[in-house]
Amino acid sequence: KFISTFYWLRGLKKKLKASFSSSLHHQRLSQGKRRRYFSLVMKSTEEETQIIIHYWIRTLNIKLGWIEDFDKLVVNYVSTFFMFDTFRSSSKLINTLVGHTNRVYSIDYSTFDDCQFICSGSYDNTVRIWDVDNNKQIQSLNMSSGYVSCVKFSSYCYHSHHQNVICFSSHDKIIRFWNFKHNGQLQTFNGHTSDVRGIEFSPFNGGRYLCSGSWDKTIRLWDIETSKSLHVFRGHKSYICCVDISPLQSNDNNDNNNKVNNIGVVGGNGYTICSGSYDNTIRIWDIETTKQLNVFKGHGSHVNSAKYGSNELLNTILSGSADNSVRLWDIRSCQQIQVFNGHNNWVYAVEYSPFVIKNSSVICSGSWDNTIRFWDIRSNKNELYVIEGDKEEDIGITCLKFIKLKKKDKTKNVTYDLNLKLNLFDLIERKHRNVFYLFAIVFCIEPSKQYKVKRTI
């Protein structure tokens, strides 16, 4: 019985590969025919996927390595060819969280004690925390000293000290850590001499280190455990708008937000910081040696957002500028790979999206032209898709964030992923109030239901 099951599954693998080869062959068909053909392939693949999962649960009731690998193959096959097209055809506004009275410049997301939270920082001088599950604001911190420019949840404080903590920076030059569960300030970092415009936690040592960029033209690296400033990076000729830290240098597929990775030294394995500035440059700094490594020149105005890539795009940086362009850079050659033109106002936010289209990665940008645009990194032609804000009420996109969630289900002691949610947060200013939008797509694989897309909060 086991042997027959093995050959049955192997036969299905061959069918999937054959469907893949056939789909490539039909790419030469007309657009209308190709669309109809992909629809048929998707239906066939959906049915086979359901049969596979159902048969595993009903017949085998065991876990084997090759089954897990095959599961990844099936999911990757389906998502690679249909994920972005599904999003493009199904995305819409789901929810609006209202409360801020001025433009919102920063958001973050995290899970504490199995509860989902969003935090937001605004020019109304407040930090607000939202309960995603119950769709409501649970706390508001009023900073009379000035606007809030950046907010982040601290995974280090949660996993090392069992505290629900947000970190935020503001116009008053101070970085604060606040326990929002017990509504109390824990510590402050003082050292910058002007507005702190960007903060980022380290992907190493469980997020123990914090990087900050300021309008005093400096970048600082802090140790959260000791509350000490470890180093000041100098080199930019004007205000620093944004910072990022290179991703975890490891082949392990651990959840970096929930696992502490004990690297012996600060910046072990060549971690770097990238920063964007009003001097129109992006600079890379080695955390361990504290030296400046590279300078990227090409933007015609200040750099509002700069992000490191990951996985196959590990050696790239994505940037958005007040010159209205989005640019992709190669870290190794210090060269610009692509420039994406299409926005007609400042680009304020850029992200590597979780979407792929025809085996190519998709990037995303938000602009004060009131649009979110998606681009194929292989092509600098027209954008793949545009989400537009309300023309009468909205004035621009200031930040956005993708979130990847997994929901587990158990059937007969076999655990597998049921849902893959992709959430896009988009903050925009209304005339009389500030809101941010939550877009979510759910890809479901369930034994008793057809593969489908749900829109959910």
Q: What is the pLDDT along the chain (457 residues), one digit of tens a residue?
A: 444 555 555 565 555 555 545 544 554 444 444 333 333 334 455 556 656 655 555 554 444 444 444 444 444 444 443 467 777 877 777 778 889 988 899 999 999 988 889 999 999 999 999 998 888 999 999 887 789 999 999 999 999 999 999 999 988 999 999 999 898 999 999 999 999 999 999 998 999 999 999 999 999 999 999 999 999 999 999 999 999 999 976 544 444 444 444 443 454 468 999 999 999 999 999 998 899 999 999 999 999 999 999 888 989 999 999 999 999 999 999 999 999 999 999 999 999 988 887 778 899 999 999 999 999 998 877 899 999 887 777 778 999 988 765 454 443 333 323 333 333 333 333 333 344 444 433 333 333 333 322 223 3
Q: What is the CATH number of the domain that holds 329?
A: 2.130.10.10
Of the candidates 363, 307, 360, 358, which has an alpha carbon nearest to the alpha carbon of residue 340? 363
Count: domains in the chain: 1
In a domain, 94, yes or no: no
In a domain, 233, yes or no: yes
Q: What is the helix (H) or strand (E) element at residue 83, kind and residue range?
A: helix 65-90
What is the per-residue burial (b if ≥16 Cβ within 10 Å, else e) of 6-44? Answer: eeebeebbeebeebeeebeeeeeeeeeeeeebbeebbee
In a domain, 279, yes or no: yes
Domain range enclosing 139: 104-249+269-407+435-447
In a domain, 35, yes or no: no
What order do you get walking across the sheet with 148-153 strand by strand?
A: 148-153, 165-170, 175-179, 184-189
In a domain, 276, yes or no: yes
Q: What is the helix (H) or strand (E) element at residue 65, kind and residue range?
A: helix 65-90
Give the 3-state secondary structure of residue 195: coil
